Amino acid sequence: MLFRGLSPTYDLVLDYATLFQDRRWKKWLVEAASIERNWRVLDLGCGTCILERYLSKEGCKVTGLDLTEEMLRVAQAKKIGCVESLFVGDAEQLPYAESAFDAVLSCYVAKYCDERKLVKEVRRVLKPGGSVTLYDFSTPRGVFAPFHAFYVYGIMRILGWFFSQFDGGIGFTFTNLPEIIRARRWEERLFEILRKEGFIGLRRKNLSGGVVTALQATKAQIT
């Protein structure tokens, strides 16, 4: 897996890989989701529970799901109060009952998923009126495009080569991420599938000039 060998240093690497922008994106995510006290929140691709540091101030109860067991071990060691449970699992086959959560949040997972399977599972586990808010890497247009291309396809690959001399896990991640970012155009498909599956209040927002794209939608109330 792309992040298996990265688990012990993931928090630090994420800061450097995003030029410390991820902290801003996570703050935006929590604010946009308007989390309320005692809500049950599902974090898809929770990793080492970096997002939960921000959620801990909201008084909610968080369930984290991630494919990488090593990430969850690091997360568990942090002992973040709002985290109720952590599971190894797949975002396309969620091990939860229908209408189990008030909100679903996710960072950096959408580009790896079959968008239709992801949306159907998110819809299933959300309560009526519940919301999904997520973001992932995208390709900016306009003035930010050449700077983004230089960093992702130039600097990041150089960092991959450099880190591979000392840490195979970090080197592997930096080397392979540029191609994954280039190949996936997840945001357009996911937005359209959310609409077709009956989600309302769809919102799309470019963060940091479009380096990442955020999507937000609400599961319609039962009538």
Average pLDDT value for the chain: 87
pLDDT digits 0-9 by tens, 154-207: 666 666 666 666 666 666 666 666 666 665 678 999 999 999 999 999 999 999
Distances (CA, A) of 140 to 17, 18, 152, 181: 17, 14, 12, 11
Query: Phi/psi at 34 (nearest 5 deg)?
Result: 50, 50
Mean pLDDT of 92-105: 97
pLDDT band at 100 (very low <50, low <70, confident <90, very high): very high
Tokens of 200: 């309302």
Domains defined for the chain, CATH in brackets: 4-139+185-219 (3.40.50.150), 143-175 (no CATH)
- Inter-axis angle of helices 10-17 and 22-33, nearest 10: 100
pLDDT bin (cut points 50, 70, 90) of residue 3 is low
Give the global pTM: 0.86
Instruction: Place 146 in a pLDDT band, splitting at 50, 70 and 90.
Output: low
Averaged pLDDT, 109-131: 96
> What was the pLDDT predicted at 18?
82
Q: Mean pLDDT, to the nearest integer, of 91-97?
A: 97
Report the DSSP beta bridge partners of residue 203.
216
Residue 121 has pLDDT above 70, yes or no: yes
> DSSP string spanning 136-157?
EE----GGGHHHHHHIIIIIHH
Helix runs in the chain, H state only: 10-17, 22-33, 51-55, 69-78, 115-125, 145-150, 156-164, 168-183, 186-196
Q: Is 138 exposed, middle or buried (0-12, 13-18, 19+ CB in 10 A)?
A: buried
Read off the pLDDT of each residue in 79-89 and give the average, rounded to a whole number: 97
Q: Which two tokens stand for residue 78?
A: 């942090």
